[in-house]
Structure 1
Amino acid sequence: MKSILKFIKFFILLSGLFTMIPTVSLAEESYKREIDHLLHYVKDTQCLYERNGEQHSGDDAHKHITKKYKYYADDIHTAEDFIRLSATQSMVSGQKYYIICPDKKRTESGKWLLLELHRYRSVCP
């Protein structure tokens, strides 16, 4: 009788673990899709990306942020982590990154990307 109860407990535990795996995969898939969108958003922008006092095209900013994303990949579990670690400031100088768009005020890149993330989530839940 005890061995049957142990088997049932083991089976329930194992079943619970298997039901968690797809959930983790879906969550990971979701935030990676959001990050991919943000990377394309940076790449395709007509705005300039200011990093350490120098202005860069969206394409150049995309390349730089992608390198940082790969470097911090193990620490990134959400799109917000991606923004914070890869796209807001220089980890060497500590200077914030800025976005300069025509006819708009200079904006911190973190705020700019968070606004786009919220917009994206509202249309692609």
Structure 2
Amino acid sequence: MMRRLLTAAAALVLAPATAAPLPAPARAEVDALLARLQSSGCQFNRNGTWYSGAEAKAHLQRKMEYLEKKDMVRSAEQFIELGAAASSSSGKPYMVRCGADAAIESKAWLGAELKAIRAR
């Protein structure tokens, strides 16, 4: 009996985690955020290099997929905090620069865009 319990416990611990996709409403918000970033004409700074909105969108989509596989994100706010605020390799904050405006942290830019999305 004890051997069966230990075997069952080991199977639970060693079983691969099941990835959960982002809930549909949150996914729609993240998709809308990334579409706005892509079409904004703004540039996105990652680890000292400026990228176009389209390049930023592609990068952040990959990070979203990673977070989903790890079941680490359930809302647009969590996506911004865990995937779109800073580099996971360097820890440096991502920045967004639109036109001649000063660059701001992506967390602030994406947060403001999320509020605008929710307001419509």
Output the TM-score relative to the length of structure 1: 0.74
Greater radius of gyration (CA): 1
5 Å-filtered alignment, 1:101-120, equals: 101-120=98-117
Where does structure 1 differ by over 6 angstroms across 4 or more consecutive aligned residues? Answer: none
Equivalent of 2:50 in 51, 55, 67: 55
Counterpart code for 1:110: K
CA RMSD of aligned residues (A): 1.3
Equivalent of 2:59 in 55, 64, 82: 64
Counterpart code for 1:60: E
Equivalent of 1:80 in 64, 77, 82: 77
The one of the two structures with greater contact order (alpha-carbon pairs below 8 A, sep at least 6) is 2
- CA-CA distance at 1:69 after TM superposition: 0.5
Deviation string, structure 1 residues 60-97 (Cα, Å, up to 9, x no partner)? 10111011000011111000011112211101100000
Equivalent of 1:35 in 19, 24, 30: 30
Output the TM-score relative to the length of structure 2: 0.77
Match of 1:13 in 2: none
Gaps of 5+ in 1: 1-26
Aligned residue pairs, count: 97
- CA-CA distance at 1:45 after TM superposition: 1.9
Counterpart code for 1:70: E
Greater percentage in helix? 1
Contact 1:65–1:86 under 8 Å retained in 2: yes
Contact 1:50–1:97 under 8 Å retained in 2: yes
- CA-CA distance at 1:28 after TM superposition: 2.2
Name which of structure 1's ranges 37-46 and 107-116 shifts more when overlaid on structure 2.
37-46
